[in-house]
Amino acid sequence: MHIVICIKQVPDSAQIRVHPVTNTIMRQGVPTIINPYDLFALEEALQLRDRHGGEVTVLTMGPPMAEDALRKALTYGADRAVLLTDRHFAGSDTLATSFALSRAIAKIGEAFGTPDIVFTGKQTIDGDTAQVGPGIAKRLDLLQLTYVAKIVSVDINGREITVERRSEGGTQTLMSKLPCLITMLEGTNEIRRGSLDDALRAARSQIVKWNAADAGIEDLTKCGLRGSPTVVKRVFAPPERAEKAEQIDTAEKTPRDLAEELIAGIFLRQPALESELAFDGE
């Protein structure tokens, strides 16, 4: 089977610094990682390949430096990597991003075989929209299975797939058909460490680099800022809370004293709570 997985290189969120004057993200020197949710999807894709045979192609759209994320994905064991990079993609919102990626996936299909499954993570940790996966599915007319916690079974010959999908308040079991697009939740799978062979292969691999024209995109008005119906009008830092927390003085006090004071402090501020807290005496 052929699986395409879309990944994104994102700034490590723990280390994001915002410029105090311009309110822009200071990317200089901020380490980048593969979006964590994409790794669960990658692991799932590699497991399916190991079980059913075939290939995993990893795809990213981003600046030239996103090549690092692809190389990393190759060290995990992906078979092929495609970098979609073009300055015309700058400023893409989710609609424009799903357009460019869907064209690249169609091109990958022509060049390396039609994918049976396209994977994405449930969302990225920088944009946090969870919109690109569904956007790609719609543009490629793929069946869409989002928030998948587990792939129960895949029948390649029968073209059938069964998954468990998280929904509000429970888990749906869905049966669908290939080809489909799956967005993965944080899986139950341990993410593998690639083998030495994979590392050597990754170091030697040629990464396929495509610009818009290579990916078969003729209409540049659908890309980047021009192809994005949404426009960011204003960027600002979250307002500071006016008052900092009132601190309980801890000097010379036992945990019991502190607990007493805290509870008094809670009920002083929220008197109604006292009658509402359910007591579950043991």
Partner 1 sequence: MLSTNRESPPPAAGRAAMKKELPDQFKDHRHVWVFIELERDQVHPVSFELLGEGRKLADKLGVQLAGVVLGPPGEATWFAIAEAFAYGADLAYLVEAPLLADYRNEPFTKALTDLVTNYKPEILLLGATTLGRDLAGSVATTLLTGLTADCTELDVDADGSLAATRPTFGGSLLCTIYTLNCRPQMATVRPRVMAMPPRGNNKIGRVIQHKVSMIEEEIVTKVLGFLSDGQSATANLAYADVVVAGGLGLGAVENVKLMKKLARTIGADYGCSRPLVQKGWMPADRQIGQTGKTIRPKLYIAAGISGAIQHRVGVEGADLILAINTDPNAPIFDFAHLGVVTDAIRLLPSLTELFTHRLSPHSRDKLAN
Residues 85-124 that bind partner 1 (CB under 8 A): 91, 93-95, 98, 123
Choosing from 53, 231, 252, 271, the residue that interacts with partner 1 (CB under 8 A) is 231
Choosing from 47, 129, 189, 211, the residue that interacts with partner 1 (CB under 8 A) is 129
**177 makes contact with partner 1 (CB under 8 A):** yes
Choosing from 174, 205, 207, 209, the residue that interacts with partner 1 (CB under 8 A) is 174
Residue 174: helix, strand or coil by DSSP?
strand
Q: Is the dihedral of CA 139, 143, 149, 152 positive or negative?
A: negative
Number of residues that bind partner 1 (CB under 8 A): 94
**218 makes contact with partner 1 (CB under 8 A):** no
Q: How far apart are CA 45 and CA 208, in angstroms?
A: 20
- Nearest to partner 1 of 213, 259 (CB atom): 259
C-beta neighbour count of 157 within 10 angstroms:
5
Q: How far apart are CA 10 and CA 123, in angstroms?
A: 11
Residues from 67 through 86 that contact partner 1 (CB under 8 A): none
Non-local (6+) Cβ contacts of 194 within 8 A are 75, 76, 77, 202
**21 makes contact with partner 1 (CB under 8 A):** no
DSSP state of 241: P
Counting every residue written for the chain, the total comes to 282
Residues from 139 through 158 that contact partner 1 (CB under 8 A): 139, 143-147
Question: Least separation, in Å, of the C-beta of 81 and partner 1?
Answer: 26
